[in-house]
């Protein structure tokens, strides 16, 4: 594509040279990936500044640069006020507006995003639509999945992936939209048809100034739904009626709103809820009819997840009987409330709860069914919100008979410092600190007796433990299984 055509999408720019007819082969934001005739976009990151890699990009063959300041080079430099936003716009243009080619559903909120996308994938697949999914666990087109580094990847990766999805005839796109992504403009330029809000509670206060700032970032997804009805497409904001933060989100969109929850005001509602240790039953009433759901997913929070996914499906005209069949066919979500079964007489549950609210939800659910002791093995991630550490430790102690505090991806922090943050100031003492996660899990398994429950929280589907910059193989489910086998049951 011609450079002049690519940059025509930018609202403003200044060029250091008269732009001749330059052909651009591809666009790159990483100098190490630049090839001949590429357009290199300089992004100021949290670690380094892409502007410092212009020479490398040119040596590798870049034929134009987009930057936030003038740079002394022989190749044309286009100066824009914000290269992240310019990247997002240019990527949508370069990949020919792929999100206009299929309906795109974005899911945001502190907890439940992955679960809701998983439920939506099941519903749309049952409706015989080819799906494309992007989220924490993977990126998936039809049945083929690929690894991802971020829950919501950067704009270049996203638009390239959406193009692949469009070319492979994806009929519904489903993605998790993190608050980081919204704030950093990774989804700027995506044409969402449905935006779902799960809930908001404390997380990521290392990144967002406060909870208002965190909510403001989430609200961008709803503002981004736009206001045009000209092409006849109906767009929807799907909001949790029982979460007070939804009121601001209602004001953030000019589109149709569909609410879900347990309260009478909700348009898609759950009543007659029966929570059991092996299943969850409820009646789902909606503006288009009523269905009885018999699900194998456990816990009240999963009732909310099922309501959120069903609401988006109803907004997409999926028949209720298809929604029912899909929800009832799901046995679980990878690493979420996942039981480790190795013939032991006690329950061992691996879950991805890594926020105070999710830990409390999971422990409340466990406590409802607990016959004997509850052991919790949990840690907090390094280089992440420090203020959630004592809250998570406190919640573990509120519900557990014994909490074993351990490491969860210490990253570049000293593990014992993270554990100090968790334990300093605790008033209760029924906890132990075992820095090594494997030893912590083995200890819980050694202590557990018939009918006890062990919750291993925080890492869920993860198959690594990140210490420093290195990711070591580590899977809570495998480690627990091995510990149970070694106990000789
Ligand atoms: C804090 C943050 O969001 N960091 C993201 C960011 O990395 P960064 O700012 O450190 O990038 P950088 O290394 O400084 O590089 C800046 C620029 O220079 C370029 N560069 C760099 C080196 C070089 O030799 N040449 C070069 O051109 C890079 O390609 C980049 O364009 O840009 C990277 C590429 O897009 C992301 O992968 C990375 O996410 C890291 C892995 C991360 O952990 N992010 C977390 C905080 C995050 O985003 N989490 C949310 C989910 C949260 C949740 O809801 O649970 C997510 O959506 O994943
Ligand atoms: N609707 C919900 N409300 C509260 N907690 C939930 C909800 N759904 C799931 N959880 C809890 O949160 C954990 C993470 O769930 P899930 O992976 O679906 O959330 P997520 O929003 O995708 O998280 P992340 O921000 O890490 O991508 C689960 O393991 C469970 O403990
Ligand atoms: N998306 C979340 C995942 C946290 C998972 C937990 N295991 C941790 O490493 O803190 C984050 O990056 O903050
Ligand atoms: Mg997720």
Does any ligand 3 atom lie closer than 6 A to the CB of residue 461? Answer: no
Kindly tell me if the per-residue pLDDT of 116 is higher than 90: yes
Pocket probe for ligand 2: among 352, 392, 396, 399, the residue whose CB has the most ligand atoms within 8 Å is: 352
Report the distance separating Cα 223 and Cα 220, nearest Å: 5
Domains in the chain: boundaries: 3-94, 98-329, 338-487
Q: How many percent of the chain have pLDDT more than 90?
A: 90
Atom number of ligand 1 nearest to Cα 110: 54
**Confidence class of residue 136 from pLDDT cuts 50, 70 and 90?**
very high
Summarised one tens digit per residue, pLDDT across range 337-360 is 999 999 999 999 999 999 999 999
Report the distance separating Cα 163 and Cα 161, nearest Å: 5
- The complex's ipTM works out to 0.96
Does any ligand 3 atom lie closer than 6 A to the CB of residue 103? Answer: no
346 alpha carbon to ligand 2 midpoint, in Å?
24
Kindly tell me if the per-residue pLDDT of 207 is higher than 90: no
Better-scored residue on pLDDT, 83 or 74: 83
pLDDT value of position 65: 96
358 alpha carbon to ligand 2 midpoint, in Å?
6
Among protein residues, the one with the nearest Cα to ligand 1's atom 35 is: 154
pLDDT value of position 228: 59
Summarised one tens digit per residue, pLDDT across range 276-290 is 888 999 999 999 999
pTM, whole model, 2 decimals? 0.95
Among protein residues, the one with the nearest Cα to ligand 3's atom 8 is: 381
Kindly tell me if the per-residue pLDDT of 122 is higher than 90: yes
Kindly tell me if the per-residue pLDDT of 203 is higher than 90: no
Class (C level, CATH) for 338-487: alpha beta
- At the second CATH level, the architecture of 98-329 is 3-Layer(aba) Sandwich (3.40)
Contact 274, 348 (CB under 8 A): no
pLDDT value of position 229: 61
pLDDT value of position 15: 86
pLDDT value of position 156: 97
Pocket probe for ligand 2: among 107, 108, 109, 115, the residue whose CB has the most ligand atoms within 8 Å is: 115
- Among 182, 253, 264, residue whose Cα is nearest residue 215: 182
pLDDT value of position 18: 75
| Binding-site residues from annotation for meso-2,6-diaminopimelate | 384, 408-411, 458, 462
Kindly tell me if the per-residue pLDDT of 191 is higher than 70: yes
**Confidence class of residue 208 from pLDDT cuts 50, 70 and 90?**
confident
Question: How much is the average pLDDT of 438-457?
Answer: 97
Among protein residues, the one with the nearest Cα to ligand 2's atom 5 is: 358
**Domain 3-94 CATH superfamily:** MurE/MurF, N-terminal domain (3.40.1390.10)
Report the distance separating Cα 63 and Cα 223, nearest Å: 36
Summarised one tens digit per residue, pLDDT across range 79-95 is 999 999 999 999 999 99
Kindly tell me if the per-residue pLDDT of 230 is higher than 70: no
Mean pLDDT score across all residues of the chain? 95
Summarised one tens digit per residue, pLDDT across range 146-174 is 999 999 999 999 999 999 999 999 999 99
Report the distance separating Cα 46 and Cα 26, nearest Å: 25
Kindly tell me if the per-residue pLDDT of 489 is higher than 90: no
Mean pLDDT check: name the lowest of 70-79, 284-293, 308-317, 372-381: 70-79
pLDDT value of position 209: 83
Among protein residues, the one with the nearest Cα to ligand 1's atom 33 is: 154
Kindly tell me if the per-residue pLDDT of 333 is higher than 80: yes
Report the distance separating Cα 195 and Cα 425, nearest Å: 40
Kindly tell me if the per-residue pLDDT of 227 is higher than 70: no
Kindly tell me if the per-residue pLDDT of 292 is higher than 70: yes
3-state class (DSSP) for residue 404: strand
Does any ligand 1 atom lie closer than 6 A to the CB of residue 365? Answer: no
355 alpha carbon to ligand 3 midpoint, in Å?
9
pLDDT value of position 210: 85
Among protein residues, the one with the nearest Cα to ligand 1's atom 18 is: 50
Tell me which ligand sits closest to the C-alpha of residue 469: 1
Report the distance separating Cα 260 and Cα 243, nearest Å: 10
Identify the DSSP state of 2: B
Better-scored residue on pLDDT, 96 or 20: 96
| Binding-site residues from annotation | 31, 109-115, 150-152, 178, 186, 384, 408-411, 458, 462
Task: Evaluate whether 98-329 and 338-487 have a shared fold.
Answer: no
Strand order of the β-sheet with 39-41 is: 14-15, 77-79, 64-67, 39-41, 27-28
pLDDT value of position 21: 82
Phi, psi of 363 (to 5 degrees): -70, -35
């Amino acid at each position: 594509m011609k450079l002049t055509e690519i940059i025509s999408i930018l609202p403003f720019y200044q060029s250091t040279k008269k732009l001749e007819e330059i052909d651009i082969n591809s666009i790159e934001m990483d100098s190490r990936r630049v090839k001949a005739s590429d357009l290199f976009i300089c992004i100021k990151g949290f670690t380094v500044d892409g502007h410092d890699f212009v020479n490398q990009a040119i040596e590798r063959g870049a034929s134009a640069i987009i930057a936030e300041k003038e740079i002394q080079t022989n190749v044309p430099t286009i100066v824009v006020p914000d290269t992240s936003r310019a990247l997002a716009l240019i990527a949508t243009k370069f990949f020919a507006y792929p999100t206009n080619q299929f309906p795109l559903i974005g899911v945001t909120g502190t907890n439940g995003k992955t679960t809701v996308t998983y439920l939506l994938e099941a519903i749309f697949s049952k409706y015989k639509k080819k799906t494309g999914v992007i989220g924490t666990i993977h990126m998936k087109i039809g049945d083929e999945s690929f690894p991802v580094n971020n829950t919501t990847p950067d704009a270049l990766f996203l638009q390239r992936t959406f193009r692949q999805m469009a070319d492979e005839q994806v009929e519904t796109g489903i993605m998790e939209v993190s608050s980081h992504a919204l704030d950093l403009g990774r989804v700027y330029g995506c044409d969402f048809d449905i935006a779902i809000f799960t809930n908001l509670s404390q997380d990521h206060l290392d990144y967002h100034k406060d909870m208002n700032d965190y909510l403001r970032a989430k609200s961008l997804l709803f503002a981004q739904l736009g206001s045009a009805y000209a092409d006849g497409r109906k767009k929807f904001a799907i909001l949790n009626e029982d979460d007070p933060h939804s009121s601001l989100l209602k004001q953030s969109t000019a589109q149709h709103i569909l609410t879900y929850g347990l309260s009478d005001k909700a348009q898609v509602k759950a009543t007659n809820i029966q929570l059991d240790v092996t299943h969850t039953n409820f009646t789902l009433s909606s503006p288009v009819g009523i269905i009885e759901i018999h699900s194998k997913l456990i816990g009240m929070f999963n009732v909310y997840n099922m309501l959120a996914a069903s609401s988006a499906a109803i907004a997409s005209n999926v028949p209720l009987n298809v929604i029912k069949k899909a929800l009832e066919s799901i046995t679980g979500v990878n690493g979420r409330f996942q039981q480790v079964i190795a013939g032991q007489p006690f329950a061992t549950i691996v879950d991805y709860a890594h926020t105070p609210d999710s830990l409390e939800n999971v422990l409340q659910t466990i406590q409802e069914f607990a016959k004997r002791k509850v052991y919790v093995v949990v840690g907090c991630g390094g280089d992440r919100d420090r203020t959630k550490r004592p809250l998570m430790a406190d919640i573990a102690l509120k519900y557990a008979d014994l909490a074993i505090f351990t490491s969860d991806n210490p990253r570049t922090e000293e593990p014992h410092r993270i554990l100090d943050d968790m334990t300093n100031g605790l008033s209760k003492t029924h906890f132990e600190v075992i820095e090594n996660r494997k030893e912590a899990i083995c200890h819980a398994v050694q202590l557990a007796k018939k009918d006890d429950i062990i919750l291993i929280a925080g890492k869920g589907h993860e198959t690594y433990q990140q210490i420093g910059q290195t990711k070591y193989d580590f899977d809570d489910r495998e480690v627990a299984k091995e510990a149970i086998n070694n106990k000789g049951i």
